[in-house]
Amino acid sequence: MSEESGESYVEELGEESDDSYVEAKRHKTIKCEYNGCLRKHLSRHTSKRLFACDFIGCQMTVSTAEGLRRHRRRHRSEPMWKCSTDGCVEMFVTQHQRNKHQTAVHNRKPEPKRAYRCDWPGCEWTGAARDQHRLQHTGEKPYPCLWPECGKRFGRTEYLKYHMNIHNNVKPYVCHWPGCAYSYAHLANLHHHVKRFHTK
């Protein structure tokens, strides 16, 4: 932990706590090892994932109710993020799409991305998703399909989710273009469809 952040709290012996992941010991100072981390955020660093997504075929679990609420937005295909910059009324399916729009159309300064360097010998990659990148070197696919006799494995949870949509014959990503009735099991296929058929 960085000494500058100073994010910590003290819990007295015998006091009730709403945070079950903290051991109550006399004057034990709990500090998050992640720079700038707040007390509420500590639960993200535990392995307890008590909240499970109930969407068909999705096996995502998260550690907070707020995380589950945010995750569930991914299953919706209707736009719910409004731009609202300079009176703009454009709507977007994800916050990321809205931010890209605001940067491209309204000249909003893009948010800086954290850049990590790959620690694999000889690799000069830098980017935000270092752990996902590392799977390319190891070939590890830690997320197995639990469908009987399938046996496929995936390196990312979202790939498993899209794969499960195929097993369950679920196509949650619906094109909302007027008069278009196409739907897809994979979000990227919907984006490809919209670009190919509905944009000039």
Structural domain total, the chain: 4
Q: What pLDDT sits at residue 156?
A: 87
Q: What pTM value is reported for the model?
A: 0.44
3-state secondary structure of 109: coil
For residue 17, pLDDT over 50 is answered with: no
Res 5: pLDDT? 40
DSSP state letter for 45:
G
Q: What is the mean pLDDT of residues 104-121?
A: 86
Over range 14-33, report the average pLDDT.
41
Residue 20 tokens read as 């079950």
If pLDDT is split at 50, 70 and 90, which confidence band does 189 have?
very high
Distance in angstroms (rounded) separating the CA atoms of residues 49 and 53: 11
Phi, psi of 32 (to 5 degrees): -80, 135
Asked if 165 and 193 sit in the same domain, the reply is no
Does 106 or 19 have the greater pLDDT score? 106
- Residues 150, 181: one domain? no
Among the ranges given (2-16, 68-82, 85-99, 107-121), the one the predictor scored with the smallest mean pLDDT:
2-16
Task: Say whether both 40 and 56 belong to one domain.
Answer: no
**What is the domain-level CATH number for residue 126?**
3.30.160.60
Cα–Cα distance measured from residue 31 to residue 93, given in angstroms and rounded to the nearest whole number: 36
Q: Which residue has the tokens 């907070």?
A: 64
pLDDT at 32 over 60: no
Range with lowest mean pLDDT among 58-62, 140-144, 195-199 = 58-62
> Which of the 8 DSSP states describes residue 91?
E
The average pLDDT across 157-162 equals 88
Quick check: is 107 in a domain? no
Question: Greater confidence, 43 or 62?
Answer: 62
- Is residue 89 domain-resident? yes
Q: What is the C-alpha separation between 193 and 175, in angstroms, rounded?
A: 8
Q: Could you list the residue range(s) of the whole structural domain that residue 190 is in?
A: 173-200
Q: Strand, helix or coil at 196? A: helix
- Judge if 161 and 177 occupy the same domain: no
Pairing of strands 116-117, 126-127: antiparallel
